[in-house]
Structure 1
Amino acid sequence: MTAAPTSAPATPTPTLLWISLLTVYLVWGSTYFFIKVAIGSLPPLGMLGLRFLVAGAVLYPVLRSRGLPAPTRQGWLWSAVIGTLLLFGGTGLVTLAERSASSSVAAMMIAVSPLFAALFGRIWGEKTGGREWAGIGVGLLGIGLLNLSELHATPLAAFLLLLAPICWTFGSQWSRHLPLPSGLMNSAAQMLIGGLVLLLLSVVSGERWHTPTAASAWALVYLIVFGSLLAYSAYTYLVIHTRPALATSYAYVNPLVAVLIGVGFGGESLRPLGWVALAVIVGGVGLMAWPRKIVKVAEAPA
Structure 2
Amino acid sequence: MTTEPPVVQLHKRPLMAWLLLGALALVWGSSFILIKRSLVAFPPEQVAAGRLVFALVFFLPFLTRQSSQSAVRVAVRHRWMALLASGVIGFVVPAFLFAEAGAHLNSSLAGALNSLSPLFTLILGGLVFGQPLRVRQVAGILLGLAGSLLLVFFSATGSFQFNGYALLVVLATICYGLNTNLIGRYLSHLPALVSTAWLFAFAGPIALFTLIPTDFLSRVVDVKNNWSLAALATLGVFGSGLMSIFFNRVVQLASPLFAASVTYLIPIVALMWGVLDGETIYAVQFAGMGICLLGIWLVNK
Shift of the 81–282 alpha-carbon distance from structure 1 to 2, 3 Å rule, reads closer
Aligned CA RMSD, in angstroms, stands at: 3.3
Question: Which residue of the other structure, out of 102, 127, 130, is the alignment partner of 1:125?
Answer: 130
C-alpha separation in 2, matches of 1:237 and 1:196: 24
Question: Which residue of the other structure, out of 280, 286, 289, is the alignment partner of 1:269?
Answer: 280
Shift of 1:242: 3.7
| Comparing 279-288 and 50-59, the one that deviates more | 279-288
Q: Is structure 2 residue 242 aligned with structure 1 residue 237?
A: no
SS of alignment partner, residue 185 of structure 2: coil
Q: Is structure 2 residue 175 aligned with structure 1 residue 167?
A: yes
Measured against aligned partners, the alpha-carbon deviations of 1:171-223 in whole angstroms (never above 9, x if no partner) come to: 2212322257433210111122211111223346x464413512212212322
Shift of 1:59: 4.0
Aligned to 1:158: 166
Aligned to 1:112: 116
Decide whether the 8 Å contact of 2:26 with 2:266 is kept in 1. yes
Decide whether the 8 Å contact of 1:33 with 1:261 is kept in 2. yes
Q: TM-score, normalising length from structure 1?
A: 0.77
Q: TM-score, normalising length from structure 2?
A: 0.77
Unmatched runs of 5 consecutive residues or more in structure 1: 1-10, 292-302
Number of aligned pairs? Answer: 278
Shift of the 183–148 alpha-carbon distance from structure 1 to 2, 3 Å rule, reads closer
Aligned to 2:3: none
Shift of 1:79: 1.3
Shift of the 159–281 alpha-carbon distance from structure 1 to 2, 3 Å rule, reads closer
Shift of 1:284: 4.0
Decide whether the 8 Å contact of 1:52 with 1:195 is kept in 2. yes
Question: Which residue of the other structure, out of 93, 109, 112, is the alignment partner of 2:97?
Answer: 93
Which structure dedicates a bigger proportion of its chain to helix? 2
Aligned to 2:63: 60
Decide whether the 8 Å contact of 1:72 with 1:181 is kept in 2. no
Larger Rg: 2
Shift of 1:256: 2.3
Decide whether the 8 Å contact of 2:115 with 2:293 is kept in 1. no
| Comparing 27-36 and 140-149, the one that deviates more | 140-149
C-alpha separation in 2, matches of 1:236 and 1:284: 24
Q: Is structure 2 residue 87 aligned with structure 1 residue 83?
A: yes
Identity of matched residues, %: 25
| Comparing 144-153 and 194-203, the one that deviates more | 144-153
Decide whether the 8 Å contact of 2:17 with 2:250 is kept in 1. yes
Shift of the 278–68 alpha-carbon distance from structure 1 to 2, 3 Å rule, reads farther
Letter in 1 for 2:202: I
Aligned to 2:4: none
| Comparing 16-25 and 234-243, the one that deviates more | 234-243
Shift of the 156–150 alpha-carbon distance from structure 1 to 2, 3 Å rule, reads closer
C-alpha separation in 2, matches of 1:67 and 1:218: 36
C-alpha separation in 2, matches of 1:146 and 1:240: 33
Shift of 1:262: 1.5
Measured against aligned partners, the alpha-carbon deviations of 1:273-298 in whole angstroms (never above 9, x if no partner) come to: 44455444444444444x4xxxxxxx
Shift of the 69–107 alpha-carbon distance from structure 1 to 2, 3 Å rule, reads same
SS of alignment partner, residue 255 of structure 1: helix
Letter in 2 for 1:87: F
| Comparing 90-99 and 241-250, the one that deviates more | 241-250
Q: Is structure 2 residue 189 aligned with structure 1 residue 192?
A: no
Shift of the 130–230 alpha-carbon distance from structure 1 to 2, 3 Å rule, reads farther
C-alpha separation in 2, matches of 1:278 and 1:160: 17
Letter in 2 for 1:224: G
Shift of the 231–72 alpha-carbon distance from structure 1 to 2, 3 Å rule, reads closer
Aligned to 2:78: 74
C-alpha separation in 1, matches of 2:265 and 2:52: 26
Shift of the 159–145 alpha-carbon distance from structure 1 to 2, 3 Å rule, reads closer
Letter in 2 for 1:256: I
| Comparing 171-180 and 146-155, the one that deviates more | 146-155
Aligned to 1:39: 39
Letter in 1 for 2:226: A
Decide whether the 8 Å contact of 1:145 with 1:277 is kept in 2. yes
Q: Is structure 2 residue 258 aligned with structure 1 residue 246?
A: yes
